[in-house]
Amino acid sequence: MDKALKIVGAAVVIFFAVSLVLWLIGKVFAGLFWIALIALGIWAVTAIANNKKRGQVGGYRR
Torsion from C-alpha of 10, 16, 17, 20, nearest 10 degrees = 180
In a domain, 22, yes or no: yes
In a domain, 59, yes or no: no
In a domain, 60, yes or no: no
The 10s digit of each residue's pLDDT in 3-57 is 999 999 999 999 999 999 999 999 999 999 999 999 999 999 988 888 766 555 5
In a domain, 62, yes or no: no
Q: Say yes or no to pLDDT of 62 above 70.
A: no
Residue 11 Cα to chain centre, angstroms: 29
DSSP SS3 for 32: helix
The total number of structural domains in the chain stands at: 1
Which structural domain range is residue 35 located in?
2-54
